[in-house]
Amino acid sequence: MRSPDATTDLFEAERPRLLRLAYRMLGSIAEAEDVVQDAWLRWERVEEAVDVPAAWLTRVVTRLCLDHMRSARVRREQYVGAWLPEPLVGGVEPEEPADDITLTLMLALERLSPLERAAFLLHDVFGVALGEVATTLDRDAAAVRQLAVRARKHVHAAKPRYAVERGEADRIAQAFFAASRDGDLAALTSLLAEDVVIRSDGGGKVLAFRNPIRGIERVLRLYRGIAKKYAGQPAVQLVRGVTIDGLPGYIGYDRGNVLQTTALDIRDGRIAGIYIVRNPDKLRHVAAMVGIGA
């Protein structure tokens, strides 16, 4: 019979890692927390000693995530506009992960099947042995190896060739905020890549771009129009600069007091991707952090 205190201590030691795994699987902090809570309830009911608690809990959380992903597929297909992961902001639970999965790589993971995603995350990101991954996914090792290989190709293709240094990334993010706020088209032109794309997630709850905006000319026209609309007054007020899923960015709110996060994918010194989350359902944890209603 297990000691209740020992049971709790074992689980709490694993909780941060389990939250990171569930978030990477689901792209939602709230859903990750629900999955981990469900895993806790199952762990609490186990009466016999578990030889390797970390492996047992990883297996349970992964399988719960796979079940959740199957049921969430229909909801995702009915989602209004672009879908982006809930922003994992530095300093917000779950703790900022030590892995190198950024927001852009999270979007690459979205293009994988649930099993490919699980195999890649477990083996390549969380360092789970291939045999244990096979047990978790109820597949043989050869099949799991192929899942991981296919996933790896997709994910590696989404990685930038050169990593930008943190100080330079923050400088570019600050310059972009100022230029976009002021409608400074010359500065924006110097900051944006020719094939820059904007994706904005409002979830049908608040105003957002329903489709991606691609190319520097269209993006410049957008910011020119915003500057004219607000006649010199900033469309977005800065709350603070942050990292968002490993990318430089910032939290702000617009003139309608709608909270939003903006993350920037910087490649070869230029901004190649602008990811704006405005869906209030995805920003409750951010609103709590900064004290602004979402």
The domains found in the chain, sorted by start residue, are 4-157 (1.20.140.160), 166-290 (3.10.450.50)
* Tokens read off for 198: 């904007």
| The 3-state secondary structure of 40-81, one letter per residue | HHHHHHCCCCCCCHHHHHHHHHHHHHHHHHHHHHHHHHCCCC
Residue closest to 272 by CA, chosen among 288, 255, 248, 293: 248
Please indicate, yes or no, whether the overall pTM of this predicted structure exceeds 0.85. Answer: yes
- pLDDT tens digits, one per residue of 175-210: 999 999 888 999 999 999 999 999 999 999 999 999
CA distance 262 to 84: 11
Report pLDDT for 94. 47
Query: Residue 37 pLDDT more than 60?
Result: yes
Helix 4-26 and helix 29-45, axial crossing angle in degrees, nearest 10: 150
Query: Residue 95 pLDDT more than 60?
Result: no
> Which of 141-174 are b and which e, b meaning 16 or more Cβ less than 10 Å from the residue's Cβ?
eeebbebbebbeebbeeeeeeeebeeeebbebbe
Report pLDDT for 47. 78
Query: Residue 77 pLDDT more than 90?
Result: no
| Sheet-wide strand order for 270-277 | 213-214, 192-201, 270-277, 259-267, 247-254, 236-244
- pLDDT tens digits, one per residue of 137-181: 999 999 999 999 999 988 887 777 667 888 999 999 999 999 998
Query: Residue 38 pLDDT more than 90?
Result: yes
Report pLDDT for 98. 53
